[in-house]
């Protein structure tokens, strides 16, 4: 892949908001949220057919955020779009709050499935896509999975089923940041050749820079990649993208207690990039 795209102003503002949420709540997976941010942003700004005034609108597209621990990226955009008040963000991950450490469909408008038990999202998405076909509905299903999550066998069982049924209304976005909870994915369970794996399961595949909003927009507005096949868009990302201290740093997978001086430095770096 070519050199990673620099963040635009929206990307920097989004990361500032995520840092503020973590500062106020004391919880949150910063690295996972930062790597998925542009994917979520492009989906909700340009791709998904949804209605915040009617989250259960029957003809809406379905989006499953399977790597649930990165949910601060999802919460930020759902609040901005009006699915719930933005002041809920300041209470995220605190006792009794609507927005928990993982998204819950029964509590949060706009969340299609409770996720965070990794490996389940694609199976849910396959079921939704098959259901739409049976009912003769035109809505589409999108599932965002992590690369660490892709170690789970259930991901590939679901992929086999999607390929068998030729679900071309189903799109999988892989947040391929090449890091997982405790280190580089290649050291823990190497996924390569990842694109060929998806092709072998019956998917049409495209690879993009997952932080380049123009590349994402082009890829996600030209779906399916191939008629009669489910689509896999492999998004090459950087874990913790946007800040020198967080990029490719496995410590930031779980880290949420941020020293005030460190936080000041992170905000200053985002401001300097404006």
Question: pLDDT of 131-190, one tens digit each?
Answer: 999 999 999 999 999 999 999 999 999 999 999 999 999 999 999 999 988 889 999 999
Which pTM does this prediction carry? Answer: 0.95
Longest dimension (CA), the chain: 56
Alpha carbons within 13 angstroms on the beta-carbon side of residue 124 total: 22
pLDDT in tens, 41-55: 999 999 999 999 999
Instruction: Decide if pLDDT at 254 tops 80.
Output: no
What pLDDT is attached to residue 27? Answer: 77
Give the bridge partners for 232, in sequence order.
Answer: 172, 205
pLDDT average, residue stretch 7-34: 90
Q: How confident is the model at residue 222 (pLDDT cuts 50, 70, 90)?
A: very high
How close are the terminal C-alpha atoms of the chain, in Å? 25
Mean pLDDT, rounded, for 202-214: 97
pLDDT tens column, 64-123: 999 999 999 999 999 999 999 999 998 998 888 999 999 999 999 999 999 988 999 999
Q: Are 83 and 52 in contact (CB under 8 A)?
A: yes
pLDDT greater than 70 at residue 3: no
**Residue 1 predicted with pLDDT over 90:** no
* Pairing mode, strands 183-184 and 179-180: antiparallel
163-194 as b/e, with b when 16 or more CB fall inside 10 Å? beeebbbbbbbbbbbbbbeeeebeeeeebeeb
DSSP string, 197-231: HHHHTT-EEEEEETT-HHHHHHHHTS-SSSTTS-E
Query: How is the chain split into domains, by residue range?
Result: 9-272
Rounded to an integer, what distance in angstroms lies between the CA atom of residue 210 and that of residue 174? 9
Residue with tokens 């849910």: 124
Tell me the three state secondary structure of residue 235: strand
CB of 74 within 8 A of CB of 29? no
The structure tokens listed for 270 are: 């985002």
| Cβ atoms 120, 87 nearer than 8 A | no
Provide the sign of the torsion angle of the four alpha carbons 162, 145, 120, 51, taken in this order. Answer: negative
Tens of pLDDT, residue by residue over 176-194, are: 999 988 889 999 999 999 9
CATH architecture for segment(s) 9-272: 3-Layer(aba) Sandwich (3.40)
Q: Which of 1-10, 205-214, 245-254 has the highest mean pLDDT?
A: 205-214
């Amino acid at each position: 892949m070519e050199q990673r795209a620099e963040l635009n102003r929206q990307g920097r503002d989004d990361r500032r908001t995520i840092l503020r949420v973590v500062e106020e709540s004391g919880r949150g997976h910063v690295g996972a949220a930062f790597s998925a941010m542009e994917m979520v942003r492009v989906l909700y700004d340009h791709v998904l057919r949804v209605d915040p005034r009617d989250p259960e609108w029957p003809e809406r597209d379905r989006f499953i955020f399977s790597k649930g621990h990165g949910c601060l990226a999802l919460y930020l955009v759902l609040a901005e779009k009006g699915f719930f008040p933005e002041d809920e963000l300041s209470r995220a991950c605190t006792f009794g709050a609507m927005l928990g450490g993982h998204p819950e469909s029964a509590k949060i408008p706009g969340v299609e499935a409770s996720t965070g038990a990794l490996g389940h999202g694609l199976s849910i998405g396959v079921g939704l896509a098959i259901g739409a076909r049976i009912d003769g509905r035109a809505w589409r299903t999108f599932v965002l999975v992590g690369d660490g999550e892709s170690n789970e066998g259930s991901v590939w069982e679901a992929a086999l089923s999607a390929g068998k049924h030729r679900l071309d209304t189903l799109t999988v976005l892989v947040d391929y940041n090449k890091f997982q909870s405790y280190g580089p994915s290649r050291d823990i369970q190497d996924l390569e050749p990842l694109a060929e794996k998806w092709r072998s399961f019956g998917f049409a595949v495209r690879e993009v820079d997952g932080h380049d909003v123009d590349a994402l927009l082009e890829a996600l507005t030209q779906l399916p990649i191939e008629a009669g096949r489910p689509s896999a868009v492999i998004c090459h990302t950087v874990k913790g993208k946007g800040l020198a201290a967080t990029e490719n740093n496995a410590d930031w997978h779980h880290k949420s207690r941020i020293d005030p001086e460190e936080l000041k430095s992170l905000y200053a770096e985002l401001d300097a990039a404006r």
